[in-house]
Chain A
Amino acid sequence: MKGSLLILTVLLLTFSRANAQQLLPMAEKEYTDSLATVLRSGVSDSSKAVAEYLLSDYWRFRDTVKSKQYLTQGRQLAGNYPYLRALYHFYEGQYYFNIDKARAAQAYQEALTALSSYKTRAAYSSKAASWYDYALMVRNEKGDSFVTDILLNQSIPLSRQSGDVEKTAHFYVQLATLLMNNARFDKAEVYNQKAIDLLESKLPASTTLLFAYLSATSTYIYDSKNDEAKKFLDRAAKLLEPFPESINYPDYYYNEGLYYVAVGALGKALVSLDKGIGLARKYHQGPLLQILVFRKYEAFLEQRNYKKAKEFLMGLVSDGSLMAEANNRRSMYAQLAKTNEYLGDMKEAYHWSSRYGQLSDSMHGIQLKEKIAQLEARYQNSENQKTITALQQEKARAELSAKNSRLFNWLLGTICLLLLVTAAFSRSFVRNQKKMQQLKVTRAMLEGEERERRRIAQDLHDGLGGMLAGVKINLSGLADGRQQPSHDLELHKIIGQLDTSIGELRHIARNMMPEALLKYGLQTALKDLCEFYMRGDMRIAFQPFNIQASLPLPLQINIYRIVQEIVANAVRHAQAKNIILQCSQNDPGFFITVEDDGIGFDQEGLRDKKGMGLMNVRSRVDYMNGKIEIISAKGEGTTVNIELSIYADH
């Protein structure tokens, strides 16, 4: 019995009744249902946020995914409530409690910082819980004395301030468990009793009372007061009876098993422990499960069934979750050494015993080193703190002056920018207006010009042309009627001159306004133009691409005029043998290329070429938002490339 007690004590060092952290009513289903109702009923966001937090807390041992979900939702609902935002850190810590100790510890610290300014009862309660949970998270580094200290000096006083009886009792139970683990049974019994007295009068159905009973049970068993233990165990059983689904049953069975081992009813103990193991597995209560399993090992040991006991230990070693803790590992090695000794396997016993020794040594070494490092760090921290404070004051001063000057700069900059934007805007507006006006005038001029040309062309053609043709025919008739050849000769000469005049007139009229352009459109008119200029020694290749008849007439006329001028220039001045005229439409662009193999001119010559013709071309190109490019060199012909826009606002 004494031997097993040793194991218990060592193992319990790291078993801190994890589930005891959850102070949930035993009527769990009703509890979650009521929280769900709060969420559904759509009361204020703040109460919903709290419900989300509590649900997150409820689920953290059962379903971490759900827990996380509620936590996130709670945070979202917390939105603009600073207190609820501060509370988030605490529940975040709760969420990480079993998953990630470092993150949990950090979250609790954040919660304490965030909550520090709140003086409400709820805040005190949350602070008390944060302190204790934080202490648990750093327990491995700082030891049980730190936890005891926190409980006595932080959590219990804060909890009392909050007036929360149950929480206060809870911390008493935790303190008692801690003391029991350190074999301070008498003190543990006092604190258990404090909790039980407090709860039995005020909260006789609370979960915390159950924990107090169970804590008292174990304490009395360790203190070899089995009758006292049985009393509290029975009270716990009574409390649990109405709630067969409670997750606290494994804990209960653990204590029951403990009791049966203590009184030597090993068969009953194994039954209790197996029940506990099954439920602990079901509820994912890892550490509790390990303890239950260990307790089973102990029962085997009591039965002197060393073979089974060894199997169990090896199972725990390979399972690994208890082995993570150096203290546990060490006691496991000790137990394995002892079991093998009982089994007569001295070689294995020696092996485990020496591992135990090695681990012990290194643990002491590590602890020493850590202590030294801690002291050094603490010293440096305080030195650093001094420097940081000084620097911070300096920085704050600098920042204030910088802030002021920055503010002034910003103001100045904004005003300047505003002025600049206004100026640029109005300038571009005026310029735009001007440009629009110019375009309008140009358009009006061009259109008026074309109208006039059209009228003159018609008059020449139909009026004067018809007249001259009539005169010529009449003269011809006269000539035919005459008999004197000498007079006829004279007359025929006059008729010939008249002929030439009619030809000239036709030429002028066509230049004025080609009938084909009006009637058959740009492509036909351009083809006529080329054919008009073609002579035996000069070819013009006309290459039209995709010229649409739907092109507005003013644009067609404009394009025609441009081409007319350039082709005429090439014919007249370039002495070319071959000319290519290429016109292609590709919305929104219209492209003209006129290329000749004539004499060309150098760029100097181009400057002199600012005659009326080219100027007209340029203004027409501008009118269609276009670009003109003239490439030429002496003896190498000339290329004129023009890009026009047919969608611009004409």
Chain B
Amino acid sequence: MQTINIQVALVDDHPVLMEGLKSLLLNNMNVDIAGCFVNGEGILSYMESHQPDIVLLDIALPDINGIDLCQKIKKRSPSTSVLIFSNHSERSMVMQAIQNGASGYFLKNASLEELANGIREALDGGIVFSREVKEIISRPSAGELEGLPQLTRREKQVIKLLAEGKTSIKIAEELSVSSLTIDTHRRNLMQKFGVKNTAELIKAAMLQQLL
């Protein structure tokens, strides 16, 4: 009994890449190329009657963004694994793709080996990334503040002047900025410390020996 080949669909609007990828996969893996599509509409209409095992999906498509397309594909066929194959290396893109149901994310300079392994792992239900993507997502996130709130120099100035009992207007005068600026600082500080008013803010700052 011959094993059934993996059904792979390719979506990319770039013919050179498409041809290369196609021959590479056919030569090295037990796959059938179920179809090659240059836009979102093509793959979506194909999927009305077919359920490929793998869809290799570019993000930059002429009619739809690949990340949004991923969600639509998963809706049509939840059993299909979508692997993003893109030149976009932003963390936000990777995260959004996974959120929309992608099983993996590969940059276009991924090696054949990576790609082949990825396809196999994805079929087993895993989530796979190429080496470079792994690097991107393993970097510490810029937004996640650990431990104590980190204050800017200006925020420290403002909190000190607030603790001296000065009003926004007075502080604004002293720092020669607008009082809206000071109000914004105050609002941000209260958010940073998770407090509701200036009094609590000063107390929190004292507890953390910022004053």
Contacts and interface: CB of A to CB of B under 8 A. Distances in A.
Interface of A: 458, 461-463, 465-467, 469-474, 476-477, 480-481, 498-499, 502-503, 505-506, 509-510, 514-516, 519-520, 524-525, 527-528, 530-532, 534, 539-546, 580-582, 584, 586, 588-589, 591, 593, 595, 627, 629, 631, 639, 641, 643
Contacts of B27: 477, 480-481
Contacts, number: 163
Contact of A469 (B87, B89, B180, B188): B87
A222 to B, nearest CB: 86
17 contacts: A461-B60, A466-B13, A466-B87, A467-B14, A474-B20, A476-B111, A480-B24, A499-B109, A527-B141, A534-B140, A541-B142, A545-B188, A591-B181, A595-B152, A631-B153, A641-B154, A643-B181
A520 B109 contact: no
Contacts of A629: 177
Given A461-B60, A643-B177, A477 B23 contact: yes
A200 to B, nearest CB: 87
Nearest to B108: A469
Interface in B43-99: 58-60, 65, 67, 87-93, 96
A470 B142 contact: no
B59 to A, nearest CB: 8
B10 to A, nearest CB: 12
Contacts of B19: 470, 474
Interface in B142-171: 142-143, 145, 150, 152-154
Contacts of B28: 477, 480
Nearest to A479: B112
Nearest to A521: B92
A584 B188 contact: yes
A15 B20 CA distance: 134
Contact of A639 (B92, B152, B178, B183): B152
Given A473-B24, A531-B139, A580-B152, A461 B87 contact: yes
A584 to B, nearest CB: 5
A524 B92 contact: yes
A481 B28 CA distance: 10
Contacts of A514: 90
Contacts of B59: 515
Contact of A582 (B87, B89, B152): B152
A514 B59 CA distance: 13
Contact of A473 (B20, B141, B178, B184): B20
Given A472-B20, A541-B142, 5 more contacts: A461-B87, A470-B21, A474-B16, A477-B24, A531-B136
Contact of A515 (B88, B180, B188): B88
B83 to A, nearest CB: 15
B18 interface: yes
A81 B191 CA distance: 72
Contact of A510 (B12, B90, B152): B90
A520 B96 contact: yes
Contact of A534 (B96, B139, B188): B139
B4 interface: no
Nearest to A578: B150
Nearest to B192: A543
Given A466-B16, A531-B139, A477 B112 contact: yes
B134 interface: no
A524 B143 CA distance: 10
